[in-house]
Chains A and B, each alone.
Chain A
Amino acid sequence: MKPFDYVRAESREDALRADGRVIAGGTNLLDLMKLEVETPDRLIDVTRLDLREITRQENSLRIGALVSNADLAADETVRRDYPVLSRALLAGASAQLRNKATTGGNLMQRTRCPYFYDTTQPCNKREPGTGCQAMEGFNRILAILGTSDKCIATHPSDMAVAMRALDARVEIESPTGETRMLTLDEFYLLPGDTPEKETVLEPGELITAVHLPEPPKGKQAYRKVRDRASYAFALVSVGAVIDVQGGKIAAASLAFGGLGPRPWRNADVEEALVGETPSDAVFDKAADVLLADAKGFGANDFKIPLTRRVLKAVLSDLTGVSQ
């Protein structure tokens, strides 16, 4: 690990003033620093800041950026009103990691692309301009949607998938004290020509919270498929909220993990479902829309049919209509 200065921020002002890299749970950043994939000169420890509360506000639930993944999953309001989020969190990592991992850090965690982790290999995300070794290499876990010819990495978070399905917004504070609120689609960038830039977060900005709107109507589910039953990243995951009224789908919200560089959501897929009587054919049509532009890179080709099956299984569970 490269040496760094360590600064313990005692207040938000401290953190926003100090010029350096934020560390919260450290479960992703320290891992990458040990491998010298990340080499910050200065770490700003924000863990003593007052951002650990989950508070009910007028039209939202405000989750402080330092709320641990474990506390968020176990929160009684979240379990009752936003079960898709509780389930997604519980599907991620291990109990030990969830105790340390934070809401802000989880959103900001970096890809698990094996070449990104290996500093002896070219990787446009780690070292812009060096090439993408994954495109023709080991890409089993990598993306089929939203890729570019520079990078095919996936965003690995389970939590963010559920938050995307719930229309969460990220609260960001800038060094000048201004606050802005962004949806996750606004927050995460597609790789394009600059895969090293993953979010719109500017240097010096701090994620202070995530807001969930009023609980949506309908049933919620999180389904994750992975290479082992627990303690593994998603190959494909679906976070879903489906409301059936009078035999027809009244509302649908679907976000996907393991498919793209950000938690993937496509309004056309939901449009294909809303107003329809749930059936195998309708589910297939939604999958067609989702996968219309899907592109495999060899070892991850299997994700295309797998995504269809997982989506159909989730829709079938939530609507009570067998495939």
Chain B
Amino acid sequence: MKITLSVNGEERSLDVDPRTTLLDALRDHLDMTGSKKGCDHGQCGACTMLVNGRRINSCLALAVMHEGDEVTTIEGLGEPGALSPLQKAFVRHDGYQCGYCTPGQIVSAKAMIAEFSNGWPSYVSDDLEAAPDFSEAEIKERMSGNLCRCSAYPGICAAIKDAAPEEGLNEREAAE
């Protein structure tokens, strides 16, 4: 089946078997290997991408179901020489060891900051209606969909906290 996706702002056409996941479409058909495959079952978050601005597990998404959608991957956030604030902060705070979960962590954190800024509550928010603090407990709960087998969590958490203001924390966007 022929489909067109907008990947990191560029129109890309590809011909895929309907069984192809969005993750495999990018990795195997477009040679964009930044997004990683950990579990392939929605359990680890290594494959996290933004689709129309929302973070999802691209391993549990069929590429054909995303015809016309806007996809953002780690390659779209920054590149060597022009790293994004989150990418720089992960380096600064040692937010990884092997690095396998890192693209997913960073893409996920990017969306998490936007969700937070739009006033979304989390399971650990005391009050569902008031804006919560950007606390460590909130960051951990909101990032629980990204596992790190190297357990670099302290660095990940510190990096996110550090980069959040530069990534637009509390700049409320219009809901998509």
A110 at the interface (CB under 8 A from B): no
Q: Which of B17, B40, B67, B145 contacts A96 (CB 8 A)?
A: B145
* Cβ-neighbour of B121 out of A1, A74, A94 (below 8 A): A74
Q: Say yes or no: B121 contacts A96, CB within 8 Å.
A: no
Q: Does residue A30 face the partner (Cβ distance < 8 Å to B)?
A: yes
- CB–CB B121/A30 < 8 A: no
- Residues of B near A97 (CB, < 8 A) are 42, 56-57, 60, 145
B residues 25-60 near A (Cβ < 8 Å) are 40-42, 45, 48, 54-57, 60
Contact string, B72-109, partner A, CB cutoff 8 A, digits 1/0?
A: 00000000000000000000000000000000000010
- Pick out which of these stretches binds chain B: A82-90, A161-169, A298-306: A82-90
Once the chains bind, are A6 and B18 in contact (CB under 8 Å)?
yes
In the complex, which residues of chain A have a beta carbon less than 8 angstroms from the beta carbon of B123? 87, 90-91, 230
Count, A-B residue pairs, CB within 8 A:
106
Chain B residues near A90: list those with CB within 8 A.
Answer: 121-123
In the bound complex, how far is the Cα of B17 from the Cα of A97, in angstroms?
24
Chain A contacts of B140 at CB under 8 A? 230
How near does chain B come to A15, taking the closest CB pair, in angstroms?
14
For the complex, is B65 an interface residue (Cβ under 8 Å from A)? Answer: yes
Are A31 and B60 interface neighbours, CB within 8 A?
Answer: yes
Residues of chain B with a CB closer than 8 A to A30's CB: 21, 60-62
User: How far is it, in angstroms, between the C-alpha of A111 and the C-alpha of B102 when the chains are bound?
Assistant: 31
Please determine whether B144 and A231 come into contact, CB atoms closer than 8 angstroms.
yes
Which one of B18, B45, B61 lies within 8 Å of A94 (CB-CB)?
A: B45
Any chain B CB within 8 A of the CB of A106? no
Given contacts A34-B41, A231-B144, A231-B145, contact A23 B19 (CB under 8 A): no
A267: Cβ under 8 A from any B Cβ: no
B41, B48, B61, B121: the one contacting A26 at CB < 8 Å is: B61
Q: Name the B residues within 8 Å of A43 (CB-CB).
A: 18, 62
**Which B residues contact A (CB, under 8 angstroms)?**
1, 17-19, 21, 40-42, 45, 48, 54-57, 60-62, 64-65, 67, 108, 111-112, 115, 118-123, 128-129, 140-146
